[in-house]
A and B are shown apart, each in its own frame.
Chain A
Amino acid sequence: MNQPVSATVVEEKQLVVGTSLWQDAWRRLKKNKLAVFGAIVLIIIVAASIFVPIFSSYSYDQINLDKSSEPPSLEHWFGTDQLGRDILVRSLIGGRISLMVGVIATAVSFVIGVTYGAISGYFGGYIDELMMRIVDVIYSLPYLFLVIVLLAFFTKSIFMLFFVLGAVSWLTMARIVRGQVLSIKNQEFIEAARAVGVETPMIIFRHVVPNTLGPVIVYTTLTIPSAMLSEAFLSFLGLGVQPPLASWGTMVNEGVEAISVYPWQLIFPGLMMAITLFSLNFLGDGLRDALDPQMRKD
């Protein structure tokens, strides 16, 4: 007799507590094994990139010509490069740079893109028309050409790289946000916010933008790998990170030269980059499924 009563009480409690959108998304994300795997791998790589170089007895720019191009051994797990530098430490330093490029460039594109798209979409009319035509014009310029010109024109510092990559990847973000804002700004709660006298900037950034975050987060997680890939490509061309600093792109570039003789110089940094990009994409896909209400089956 007691059993069913307590069961209903528990049920009612759960009903009252309810789940917020984020809790719901989190629950679904946890169910996606690939996404969880991606997240765990990412955490390991990030932690290793941060901590291993600090505690390792080798440094990324420590040249030791006696040990040039040694194969992997207990001493040097990933072997050494032509200048005798430890590839494990260099890969992890490269990971720091690559992840930083990915995150900072994405953050730059996020800030510019969300602000620009939200303003364009919210005000609409001529402002929207003008702002979106500007985006179209920048879109029509060849992306890499633009990056190469900007990098050649300004100094080839790593901060420039963050900025340049961010500055060319905000366009899609702006379009996504604008599209979202167009549909949200006509909803009643925005009208209600205006009716209680909330200022326009507050409406945009407090009421409209948070409601666009689902698709924006998904796009963000997919921008990180694409920025990292661009960085690798630019470094491969010699336009990115300058030696002795390493990034995965420059290491792959150096490794390619010695691929037939010393394959580990290419394989290890290449593998780390591939694993990171895979993990980011898995996580991004998982987030998309978790946040997209159309996918709600359960």
Chain B
Amino acid sequence: MAKSNSAILSVRNLQTHFYGDGAVVKAVDGVSFDLKLGETLGIVGESGSGKSVTNLSILRLIPYPPGKIVGGEVIFDNKDLMKIPENEIRRIRGKRIAMIFQDPMTSLNPFMKIGAQLMEITQLHEGLNNSQARKKAIEMLELVGIADASRRIDDYSHQFSGGMRQRVMIAMALSCKPELLIADEPTTALDVTIQAQILELIKGLKEKIGTSVILITHDLGIVAGMTDHTGVMYAGKIVEYAPTEELFSNPHHPYTKGLLKSVPDPLIEQKKLFQIPGLPPDLSNLPKGCPFSPRCSSATTQCQEFPPIRQINAEHYSACWLEN
């Protein structure tokens, strides 16, 4: 939203659609945001709101067919990643923009030793030879807190626990000191105590290496503790974007308000947990106007028309007709 010169990544009107069975699923439908150097941006939303697809689109990792990036720009280092040739974006993947995936149990190749997978990246991007790459891999494993790294490097992924595997994934992602790290629900598959460790690890390494981070999650608690700015996604669009503190203290969009209310407060005994009524819309058959209007308690006839994204205050944007 905010045009800024220090933005490391600018996404403009990104659109990714999936084609199948005669229907078009608009998984990402006009997403724009900026990520400033050294900042952490949170993207929150329900399952299926297009969070992951947005970030896969940034690296052009959408499988085609059925998916296709149909429009928009992703400016990284003054280049539009959507337009550069395939082998150029391949050199950016893993080296300058790295990703951590949701499920560490399936993100590692079960047939390769951990070390071989770690070494692959530095050999690929930094041209290290075998012994250099191995040394680097051990170094990275130590950095993410794997004990006895020089021995564990020859283990297979099934010999690691979930939290350890996510550490390995982080080691892999950070091997080439990327400028941008995209963490796609990095803690969803882990239990709560491990979650906190992994988040602390990402936070610490982000400062150490100086990486900017995009953190995708559906957990508002993570967003609150980790991010500088937050974008709320709904039905393939960012419906609200604000500095994280502002978003929590002064939410504008009814969907954001609903999300915040849905978080149970352990201090107050609630008879019934709050939930946003209805279901997320079918992305191949979106309602006319505001996609949230059928579930929105403050919807008016005006919502039949699509609300433009508006500036609420200095850094706070929202796509809703409501006046505060």
Q: Which A residues fall within an 8 A CB radius of B?
A: 18, 20-21, 124-125, 186-189, 191-199, 206-207, 210-211, 213
Contacts and interface: CB of A to CB of B under 8 A. Distances in A.
A198 to B, nearest CB: 7
B207 interface: no
Given A188-B106, A189-B108, A207-B112, A194 B101 contact: no
Given A191-B101, A191-B107, 15 more contacts: A18-B158, A21-B111, A189-B106, A189-B107, A189-B108, A192-B172, A195-B94, A195-B98, A196-B120, A197-B90, A198-B124, A210-B111, A211-B109, A211-B111, A213-B111
Contact of A192 (B124, B156, B169): B169
Contact residue range for chain B? 20 to 34
Contact of A191 (B61, B95, B110, B155): B61
Contact of B124 (A21, A194, A197, A213): A197
10 contacts: A187-B106, A191-B101, A191-B107, A195-B94, A196-B94, A196-B172, A197-B90, A197-B94, A198-B124, A206-B120
Interface in B120-165: 120-121, 124-125, 155-156, 158-159
Nearest to A196: B94
Contacts of B98: 195-196
Nearest to B151: A16
Contacts of B158: 18
Nearest to A124: B65
Contacts of B107: 188-189, 191-192
B169 to A, nearest CB: 7
A58 to B, nearest CB: 48
Nearest to B178: A196
B155 A18 contact: yes
B99 interface: yes
Given A18-B158, A125-B65, A191-B101, A196 B106 contact: no
Given A191-B101, A192-B169, A20 B156 contact: yes
Contacts, number: 74
Contacts of B63: 186
B191 to A, nearest CB: 19
Contacts of A188: 101-103, 106-107
Contact of B99 (A125, A187, A195): A195
Contacts of B102: 188
Nearest to B96: A197
Contacts of B109: 189, 193, 207, 211
A193 B159 CA distance: 20
B65 A196 contact: no
Interface string B181-195: 000000000000000
A192 B92 contact: no
B120 A198 contact: yes
B56 to A, nearest CB: 8
Contacts of A20: 156
B108 A196 contact: no
B110 A211 contact: yes
Nearest to B157: A189
A122 to B, nearest CB: 11
Contacts of B95: 197
B91 interface: yes
Contacts of B94: 195-198
B59 interface: yes
B93 interface: yes
Contacts of A192: 99, 101, 107-108, 169, 172
Contact of B93 (A124, A186, A197, A206): A197
